[in-house]
Amino acid sequence: MKRLFVFAAIMIAGMSVFGQVADSKVSESPYRWKIRLRGVGVLPQESASVGVIGGDAKISNSFIPELDFTYYFTPHWAAELILGTTRHKVSTVGSDLSAIGAASNASVDLGKVWLLPPTLTLQYHYPVGIFNPYLGAGINYTIFYSADQGPVVKDIAYKNKFAFAAQAGVDIDISKRFFVNIDLKKIFLSTTTTVDGANLTPAANPELAPVLGNMKADVKINPWLLGAGIGYKF
């Protein structure tokens, strides 16, 4: 994580130094705001440390609409607020359920969950003609809500978390006010999941109830967000 912060800082600082040389050639834009509507593919790069039953995590991909607002402090520096929500199917893979009389290499359906991940990034832009490439880095706060535990376990809960976000993209003007956008983000998101599987306790082993009723997993989600859309300046 520290390396990612350092890398992002170096990249943005490097572009800033390069941009200062050309500042006199970049005219002040009459438009301070941009709004974009993107279609975004959300591609988790998941892994997990699952307690008690072991195994790993599997989280489905998703495709969502995303809305964002960008405010320019200068022709080069801007802040962007990204809004969207996404739903994913969750399961474990390779879990050992032999203690409850099931397979030793099983998958457990943990239902679905919605994520609300507002993200704020500080961006450095370097406009060249109709092209406006940018790099960004910032902070994300992901809220997990409307979790459906699925058909197997009794209940499931996810812990809301802050995360670091990195971003790269380009705006391409198609008129004075309208432009198309291509954007790539990486969110270094992890969470703690608590699963209540007390309902799986075999009648012959009631001592397993407290263990199965409080199963925890440390899950790294780390999604890539690949988006494209259209924007408007004002």
pLDDT in tens, 27-45: 566 789 999 999 999 999 9
Pair 141, 118: CB distance under 8 Å: yes
Q: How many residues does the chain have?
A: 234
- Higher pLDDT: 179 or 207? It is 179
> How many whole angstroms separate alpha carbon 64 and alpha carbon 72?
26
Distance of CA 141 to the CA centre of its chain: 9
Architecture, CATH, for domain 2-20+35-233:
Beta Barrel (2.40)
> How many whole angstroms separate alpha carbon 120 and alpha carbon 83?
9
What mean pLDDT is reported for the chain? Answer: 89
> How many whole angstroms separate alpha carbon 186 and alpha carbon 168?
9
> How many whole angstroms separate alpha carbon 148 and alpha carbon 111?
5
> Residue 36: CA atoms inside 13 Å, Cβ hemisphere, count?
28
Q: Residue 26: pLDDT above 50?
A: no
Q: Residues 15-22: what's their mean pLDDT? A: 45
Segment 116-146, tens digit of pLDDT: 999 999 999 999 999 999 999 999 999 999 9
Binned at pLDDT 50, 70 and 90, residue 2 comes out as low
Per domain, the residue ranges of the chain are 2-20+35-233
Q: Residue 3: pLDDT above 80?
A: no
Q: What is the pLDDT of residue 103?
A: 87
Other CB atoms closer than 10 Å to residue 44's CB: what's the count? 23
Helix/strand number for the chain, H first, E second: 2, 15
Binned at pLDDT 50, 70 and 90, residue 18 comes out as very low
Per DSSP, 205 falls in state: -
Q: Residue 17: pLDDT above 70?
A: no
Binned at pLDDT 50, 70 and 90, residue 202 comes out as confident
Q: Residue 24: pLDDT above 80?
A: no
User: pTM to 2 decimals?
Assistant: 0.84
